[in-house]
Structure 1
Amino acid sequence: MNGICTLANDRVYDQLIALLNSIESVMGKTMPVCIYPFDDQCDRIRLAIRDRPSVTLYDDQDSIQRWDSFMQRIAPERLNQKNRLYGAHRRFCAFDGPFDRFVYMDADTLAMSPLDRVFQMLDKFDWVVYDYQFLDPSKIYNVNSSSLYDVFSDERIRSEVFCSGFFAAKRGLFGAEQRETLIAQLRAGDINILYEGAGEQPVLNYMVMRSGLKSCNLGSYLPSEESTGCSVTSKHFEERNHILYDRGTRLTYLHYIGVKPQLMEQVCLGENVSFPYRNLFLYYRFLHQPQKCPVFMEPPSPDGKSYSPGFVKKVLKKLKLGQSK
């Protein structure tokens, strides 16, 4: 069975709802989705998916503990941020999860196309991605380390690295024996070739490349006239009927990379803050509640500050009080 996976907790609730609605919109209500819990803060998510029979919250504690332990053994410092478990690595539970083949999508993405072609690529490859992280491998590996090139060739580094926000793979990858091999190699010194500032992403890249999986990046695999961008940092996408196109070609997904969850929550609450493709995000976030979607009559403040309707009323009230004195 094919399915889509994501990773979330209540902190990214608005992003998750937008993602689920976009999947439903472009792939139908029956597309199975499995949510992996970033941590234990998932009460709002549980309530939200009660009326979504195709969506499940992963609860295999053995699997979750297995991957927690994996990260703790290779890189305990990558797990601790402000004295709490850093749970981004729990996307690895997809290798144990309910789907024979799956596409993992970060919660801060929107589906723009059906994923049939991505799933079909798994007939030829073990691992399929669609991004342009290979243009900047310095966020994956310590490119200044001479040891790096003893492990991977420069050609592989410049062509195989990927963003962990979107990938397709198969259940059963990285079994017990393979995990132990990877742990031994990392603890023997390979951990030093990884970029230190990006949590699970360098680890996953290392796992795929060190294991010799047959991988494909659609960003470089597809002909130039068929490939598209995927990031909100690209400002030239054209929107038609709530779908984005890049030079006339429909995007596969849009990644709101770099847009903080707090910002998306603020705009959902009616604060007039700006980020790329904001209206598209709001459309999917409130797809089933259009009456609750904020409507902004004024552009965001040019100084970058946000002003909610309530805040504006308070300011006006103070001004009137000041004038009366």
Structure 2
Amino acid sequence: MTDGIYTLANDAVLDQLIAFLNSVEANAGGYPVAVFAYDEQISQVAAEIERRPQVTLLADPELFAPWEEFSRQVWDTHPTAFKQWQAQGIQGVRRIGANHRYAAFDKAAPFERFIYFDADVVVLNSVEFIFNQLDHHDTVIYDFQFKDPSHIFNLDSPYFKTLFTPEQLGTQIFCSGFFASHRGRFPVAERQWLVAQLATGEADLLYPRAPNQSLLNYMMLRSQKSIYNFAIHLPPTESTGCAVTSTHFEERDCLVFDHGKRLTFLHYIGVGAGIFKRLTEGENLDCPYRETFLAYRFLHQPHQRPQWRGKPQPLHRPPSLLKRIRQKLGLKF
């Protein structure tokens, strides 16, 4: 059985991708990695992957085409999604490149069992225990997204509490930045069935501002896939958080700890690609857990790692006095 790790990238997230690949190499346990191309802007990504024998680039449009078409069919059933996106200047499905991660389920995908991570993740521990759990479940997750389903589904939809069980809503909702599953879990016939269910009105449940995440959760829950959440099943003495929004983690020796427990991965969710670029170029920014990111970004080039003096600058500087006055007066110049 071929186990492997996927991520998704283009040149805009090159710094995150390098840190991610280095962290997998250092900590994950020797698994091969495949990178889905987010779009055609991948020349720098391709050059980086060329230097890494354990990493391959998946950029064939034929691999992504059926999943893009599936995405279009899904969102065609939604009453307002395309109108919302067009009002924002978006043509077609919002961030359709993010849906390329669905190709992990394709019968032509290289890994029989896989773990998917967003590129803005650093892996900090072995992931063997995650693969082992796939012996017993369709999907494995490890997060606390169920505490805030508002970024997954439309909570005002009448389908929110009638379509899914309390157990599904209370334990199985997940952030699409990490999940583990199996190749072939969503064959064409099942995808067509899902579209048909959405067309009956269930599409009202989907959340157009996070289309890949919303749809992926719907796919898993609606098709009754067995989902195992380590955040629920691990005892409190072993479970950890994983999001950079947590403020109590401790950085130590290129690892991160949650009350003394080593994290499996740290997701820099909400930190934009531009912040990582500015950090790597030497700007002294107060990015959370920046030492860990920089340790892996420059794992093989430690002499290039930025060295700072003085107090780091906040990521979001408060507006100047003049700007605050203009805002208060309603002035736009």
TM-score by length of structure 1 reads: 0.89
Aligned equivalents of 2:133 and 2:279: distance in 1? Answer: 37
Aligned equivalents of 1:224 and 1:70: distance in 2? Answer: 39
Going from structure 1 to structure 2, the CA distance change for 1:303 and 1:89 (only over 3 Å counts) comes to closer
Going from structure 1 to structure 2, the CA distance change for 1:46 and 1:70 (only over 3 Å counts) comes to same
1:92 equivalent in alignment to 2:102: yes
Q: Which region of structure 1 is more displaced relative to structure 2, 260-269 or 236-245?
A: 236-245
1:152 equivalent in alignment to 2:153: no
- Equivalent residue letter for 2:188: A
Residue of structure 2 equivalent to 1:210: 222
Matches within 5 A, 1:167-178: 167-178=179-190
1:262-288 per-residue CA deviation (whole Å, 9 max, x = no partner) reads: 111111111122210011101100111
1:80-112 per-residue CA deviation (whole Å, 9 max, x = no partner) reads: 774466211110011121001110000000001
Matches within 5 A, 1:1-150: 1-27=2-28, 30-75=30-75, 77=81, 82-83=89-90, 86=95, 87-96=97-106, 97-150=109-162
Q: 1:229–1:251: 8 Å Cα contact kept in structure 2?
A: yes
Q: 1:273–1:305: 8 Å Cα contact kept in structure 2?
A: no
- SS of the residue corresponding to residue 157 of structure 2 reads coil
- Equivalent residue letter for 1:163: C
- Equivalent residue letter for 1:90: H
Q: Alignment length, in residue pairs?
A: 305
Aligned equivalents of 1:295 and 1:114: distance in 2? Answer: 30
- SS of the residue corresponding to residue 308 of structure 2 reads coil
Listed as ranges, the gaps of 5+ residues in structure 2 are 319-333
Q: 2:285–2:315: 8 Å Cα contact kept in structure 1?
A: no
Q: What's the offset of the Cα at 1:302?
A: 5.2
Aligned equivalents of 2:56 and 2:317: distance in 1? Answer: 37
Q: 2:286–2:314: 8 Å Cα contact kept in structure 1?
A: no
Residue of structure 2 equivalent to 1:288: 300
- Equivalent residue letter for 1:93: A
Residue of structure 1 equivalent to 2:327: none
Going from structure 1 to structure 2, the CA distance change for 1:142 and 1:240 (only over 3 Å counts) comes to same
Residue of structure 1 equivalent to 2:326: none
Going from structure 1 to structure 2, the CA distance change for 1:304 and 1:138 (only over 3 Å counts) comes to closer
- Equivalent residue letter for 2:10: N
Listed as ranges, the gaps of 5+ residues in structure 1 are 307-325
Percent identity between matched residues is 44
Aligned equivalents of 1:94 and 1:267: distance in 2? Answer: 31
- Equivalent residue letter for 2:9: A
Q: What's the offset of the Cα at 1:232?
A: 0.8
TM-score by length of structure 2 reads: 0.87
- Equivalent residue letter for 1:94: A
Residue of structure 1 equivalent to 2:324: none
1:231 equivalent in alignment to 2:247: no
